[in-house]
């Protein structure tokens, strides 16, 4: 991040610092969906993941393949798609709660 970059976001009337645009976007999503209690359940800040050499978006392009997607998605009568996901390495109960509330 550029030195001096400010990614702060107002949540519950209080300006909160964010470390990057991604965290700011997620915090905005949390607040916009009325899920601010996530911050009350969180007991510590998460560690940042190690940087991969390949950009994240490139690693996940394989999931856009219709043949592969058919192995973990279903579509209902109205055309709404659902995916079965397994999230490994989760250690934060607050993050688990957030995923259960929003996905």
Domain boundaries of the chain, sorted by first residue: 9-102
pLDDT tens track of the chain, all 103 residues? 567 788 898 888 888 888 777 778 888 888 888 887 877 777 776 666 666 666 667 778 888 899 999 999 999 999 998 888 888 887 777 777 777 777 6
Distance CA 59, CA 86 (A): 17
Q: What is the pLDDT of residue 87?
A: 80
Answer for the pair 71, 62: CB distance below 8 angstroms, yes or no.
no
pLDDT value at residue 52: 62
Quote the pLDDT of residue 68: 93
**3 state SS of 59:** helix
CA 38 to CA 93: how far, in whole Å?
10
| CB-neighbour burial class of residue 44 (10 A; exposed 0-12, middle 13-18, buried 19+) | exposed
Residue 2's pLDDT is what? 64
Q: 27 is written with which tokens?
A: 């915090």
């Amino acid at each position: 991040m550029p030195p001096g970059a400010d990614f702060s976001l107002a949540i519950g009337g209080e300006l909160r610092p964010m470390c990057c645009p991604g965290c700011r976007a997620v915090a905005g999503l949390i607040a916009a969906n009325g899920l601010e209690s996530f911050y009350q359940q969180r007991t510590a800040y998460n560690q940042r993941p190690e940087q991969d050499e390949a950009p994240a978006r490139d690693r996940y392009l394989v999931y856009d393949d219709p043949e592969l997607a058919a192995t973990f998605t279903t579509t209902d009568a109205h055309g709404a798609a659902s995916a079965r996901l397994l999230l490994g390495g989760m250690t934060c109960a607050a993050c688990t709660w957030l995923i259960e509330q929003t996905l």
